[in-house]
């Protein structure tokens, strides 16, 4: 999900400050009434909104965290001072990585995406959204069949659609973990629950980039010395719900995350524009962004540039950044040259500007990111 910045006037009109932390009883009562607790800006207290008000914010392009289910846990987390940018090693496993990248298949990604877009929509509260979770779970289970060092499970939430977590155990150490994520939900802003939302690009492409990279790594008998996880998140389109739940839980439990990369949209660049990876400029770790640039230089068919800031809560990487983990996010195109058909029935692979060869390069970066940051012993 990507939106342009909302006007400052609109944001200012929506902010109502709480003098003290919100009480547990208030959260229970208002949630039971169907209200959502939304964080609309950094360093501002969250506000309660109805479902209709929340949807109207989405339609106006206002980005937010829906913290209804994570607010109390976040209040208990220690205040983390953000450290200086982490230094990551330069790519150094070219022979092994290139051999894996050569096996990546557009045809496989097309097959995976056809399964996802067959659902009327993948909205987080719907039956079809839950079925899409099961589809990904079953697909990953088939990919990792026979690997005792790999496991996949649903990460259940209080809404219908689950997130999915694939874990690859480290052969030499149990920590730190390298994580790559995408969101598997979709939305039609005109009618979220029953409107057609194929979500081919947003974020079907990111979802299948992870699936195909995982398949190639498994086929190469990849066994990292330190653990790797692939995540597919529920409810990103409704306020980064799934990624917040997981990132907050990892922070609460003291999980040591080495690096997190988000893959949200990789299939489109406007006709006539330069084909690039657009590296997000905010809510990221500059050291990890520098490593990502090196990775693209080494393994991709085209280059990279910095995007304009994507703003508050623009995608799932922000959930991990918020709790102190190093993050990065390569986007399909510079903002303005990206897919204008998202959040509608028109988000399909048939639009002018969609490119499978473009998306394949992002799958390459997924596989390379995992291997270079968590190589075999």
For every residue of 74-111, DSSP letters joined together read: HHHSPPPPPPSPPP-PPP--HHHHHHHHTT--HHHHHH
What distance lies between CA 88 and its chain's CA centroid?
A: 21
User: CA-CA distance, 63 to 337, in Å (whole number)?
Assistant: 19
Q: At what angle do helices 206-219 and 106-117 cross, to 10 degrees?
A: 130
Alpha helices for 150-234 (secondary structure H): 206-219
Measure the CA–CA gap between 351 and 69, rounded to whole angstroms.
Answer: 37
Digitized pLDDT (tens) for each residue of the chain, 377 residues in all: 655 444 333 333 333 444 589 999 999 999 999 999 999 999 899 999 999 999 999 999 999 999 999 999 999 998 766 666 778 999 999 999 999 999 999 999 999 999 999 999 999 999 999 999 999 999 999 999 999 999 999 999 999 999 999 999 999 999 999 999 999 999 999 999 999 999 999 999 999 999 999 999 999 999 999 999 999 999 999 999 999 999 999 999 999 999 999 999 999 999 999 999 999 999 999 999 999 999 999 999 999 999 999 999 999 999 999 999 999 999 999 999 999 999 999 999 999 999 999 999 999 999 999 999 999 99
Q: So which residues are the catalytic ones?
A: 183, 202, 236-237, 264, 343
């Amino acid at each position: 999900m990507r939106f342009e910045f909302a006007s400052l006037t609109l944001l200012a009109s929506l902010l109502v400050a709480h003098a003290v932390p919100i009480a547990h009883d208030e959260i229970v009562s208002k949630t039971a009434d169907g209200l959502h607790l939304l964080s609309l800006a950094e360093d501002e207290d969250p506000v309660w909104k109805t479902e209709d008000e929340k949807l109207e914010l989405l339609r106006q392009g206002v980005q937010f965290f829906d913290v209804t289910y994570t607010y109390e846990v976040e209040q208990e987390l220690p205040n983390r001072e953000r450290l200086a940018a982490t230094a990551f090693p330069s790519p150094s496993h070219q022979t092994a990585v290139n051999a894996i990248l050569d096996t990546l298949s557009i045809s496989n990604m097309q097959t995976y995406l056809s399964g996802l877009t067959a659902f009327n929509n993948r909205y987080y509260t719907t039956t079809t959204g839950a079925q899409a979770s099961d589809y990904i779970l079953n697909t990953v289970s088939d990919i990792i069949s026979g690997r005792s060092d790999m496991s996949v499970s649903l990460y259940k939430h209080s809404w219908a659609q689950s997130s999915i977590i694939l874990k690859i155990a480290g052969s030499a150490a149990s920590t730190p973990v390298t994580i790559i994520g995408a969101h598997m939900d979709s939305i039609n802003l005109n009618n979220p629950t029953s409107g057609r939302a194929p979500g081919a690009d947003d974020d079907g492409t990111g979802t299948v980039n992870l699936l195909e990279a995982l398949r190639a790594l498994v086929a190469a008998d990849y066994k990292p010395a330190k653990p790797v996880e692939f995540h597919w998140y529920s409810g990103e389109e409704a306020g980064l719900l799934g990624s917040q739940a997981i990132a907050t839980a990892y922070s609460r439990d003291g999980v040591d995350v080495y690096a997190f990369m988000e893959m949200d949209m990789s299939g489109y660049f406007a006709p006539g524009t330069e084909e690039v990876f657009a590296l997000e400029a905010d809510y990221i770790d500059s050291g990890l962004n520098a490593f990502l640039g090196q990775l693209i230089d080494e393994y991709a068919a085209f280059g990279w540039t910095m995007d304009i800031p994507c703003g508050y809560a623009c995608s799932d990487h922000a959930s991990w950044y918020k709790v102190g983990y190093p993050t990065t996010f390569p986007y399909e195109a510079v903002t303005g040259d990206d897919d204008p058909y998202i959040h509608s029935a028109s988000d399909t692979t048939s639009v002018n500007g969609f490119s499978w060869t473009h998306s394949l390069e992002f799958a390459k970066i997924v596989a390379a990111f995992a291997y270079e940051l968590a190589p075999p012993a």
